[in-house]
Amino acid sequence: MEFASDNTSGAAPAVMAALAAANAGHAPSYGADPAMDRVRALIREIFAAPRAEVFLVATGTAANVLALSCLCPPWGAIYAHAEAHVDVDECGAPEFYTGGAKLVPIAGAHGKLTPEGLGRAIAATRRGDVHSVQPGAVTLTNLTEAGTAYTPDELARLTAVARGQGLPVHLDGARFANALVATGATPAEMSWQAGIDILSLGGTKNGCLGVEAVVLFDPAPAWEMQLRRKRGGHLFSKHRYLSAQMAAYLENGLWLQLARAANDRAAALEQVILAAPGARLMHPRAGNIIFAHLPREVHARAMAAGAHYYLWPFGQSLNGPPEEPLSARFVTSWCTTEAEIGAFAAVIRDRD
């Protein structure tokens, strides 16, 4: 009953097989390997973006902060949702890699920014005032940190606000595949056609061992990205092990198959959770993340039986009135099984 994070899952067999194949013999280093040529061709084809430039790194934080450093100067403001990973979970890495850019958190229901909220935040920045940071860039997340999904139209409305202020837009797509499956959008519709300049395309959470792609739909910053990746310590010498993962991930739609499995398991888990007495959702579920309230005694029973997930936010205690609701996050992955969900259903079922 492993529902703590899709980071806890293993790598898909096809990805591991690709790594084993890459381990045979020798290959050029630092991204000159043939598998990287295949990755580049696949992404250009899948996104209908023949001029896109692609850079691989091993972590989502590296992908996000290197992308933002190409979009925002040190004296700039980066506008993000108040719960965005770049603001809450990256230990100041965006500020560090940009050389000091200021993150401006913006509230929004269910993990989403609104055009009105984004517009107000940008307008509140004192443009032209030497004592203030200047508007720099916007970063969005899909799936959001609340497990909801932006549609392409929603993204386009936000990027239109940014464009109106002359700001580029980055998309944190750690769970981009889950968002595609949830909305039925194409990769192009969810990215450059919606006004996204740079995409962090996630692989690690969805069946890879550890690889993310930074996709520049406008190739102009490509040389800068090369230099920043190297200077930041994220250019792998044995790059073929990143390339092999990403190529296998994208070949024959595997990435979407894996995301669909995760989303389908989340839909089943959601029904199990909602059948428990006193359960209610905190956010509408779109992909593979569920936020829900359950009575303390249900959490205690589930965790005692071996269920692994997080009370969210952290700091809540299993000690207290048994009927009091506690909020929690549940995440499924490509390898979550029906048996795990069935076991969880049996544990949390009302004993009466």
Distance, in Å, from the CA atom of 125 to the CA atom of 202, rounded to the nearest integer, reads 31
Residues 6+ apart with CB under 8 A from 107: 81, 82, 117
Distance, in Å, from the CA atom of 30 to the CA atom of 32, rounded to the nearest integer, reads 6
**Pairing mode, if any, of strands 198-202 and 212-216?**
antiparallel
Distance, in Å, from the CA atom of 337 to the CA atom of 208, rounded to the nearest integer, reads 18
Phi-psi region of 252 (alpha: psi -120 to 50; beta: other; left: phi over 0): left
Q: pTM for the whole thing?
A: 0.96
| Tokens 């430039």 belong to residue | 53
* pLDDT tens per residue, range 130-170: 999 999 999 999 999 999 999 999 999 999 999 999 999 99
DSSP β-bridge partners for residue 135:
77
Residue 322 sits at φ, ψ, to 5 deg, of -60, -30
Q: Which amino acid makes up residue 5?
A: S
Distance, in Å, from the CA atom of 100 to the CA atom of 116, rounded to the nearest integer, reads 27
What's the pLDDT score for residue 89? 96
Distance, in Å, from the CA atom of 41 to the CA atom of 50, rounded to the nearest integer, reads 8
Distance, in Å, from the CA atom of 106 to the CA atom of 81, rounded to the nearest integer, reads 5
Are 265 and 336 within 8 A, CB to CB? yes
Q: Give me the helix-helix angle, 254-274 and 240-250, nearest 10°.
A: 70
Number of residues assigned to the chain: 352
Are 148 and 112 within 8 A, CB to CB? yes
> Count of CB atoms within 10 A of residue 257's CB?
17
What's the pLDDT score for residue 349? 84
What's the pLDDT score for residue 351? 60
Instruction: Return the SS3 of 16.
Output: helix
pLDDT in tens, the chain (352 residues): 999 999 999 999 999 999 999 999 999 999 999 999 999 999 999 999 999 999 999 999 999 999 999 999 999 999 999 999 999 999 999 999 999 999 999 999 999 999 999 999 999 999 999 999 999 999 999 999 999 999 999 999 999 999 999 999 999 999 999 999 999 999 999 999 999 999 999 999 999 999 999 999 999 999 999 999 999 999 999 999 999 999 999 999 999 999 999 999 999 999 999 999 999 999 999 999 999 999 999 999 999 999 999 999 999 999 999 999 999 999 999 999 999 999 999 999 866 4
Residues 6+ apart with CB under 8 A from 278: 293, 294, 295, 298, 323, 325
DSSP β-bridge partners for residue 327:
293
Residues 6+ apart with CB under 8 A from 206: 6, 175, 177, 178, 249, 255, 258, 259, 262, 333, 334
What's the pLDDT score for residue 352? 47
Are 344 and 307 within 8 A, CB to CB? yes
CA angle 254, 255, 257 (to 5 degrees): 60
Q: Tally helices (H) and strands (E) across the chain.
A: 13, 11
2 secondary structure, DSSP code: B
Q: Where are the domains of the chain?
A: 12-254, 259-348
Are 1 and 308 within 8 A, CB to CB? yes
- CA quadruple 196, 198, 203, 205: dihedral sign: negative
Residue 124, both tokens? 């509140």
Q: Under CATH, to which class is 12-254 assigned?
A: alpha beta
Q: Under CATH, to which class is 259-348 assigned?
A: alpha beta
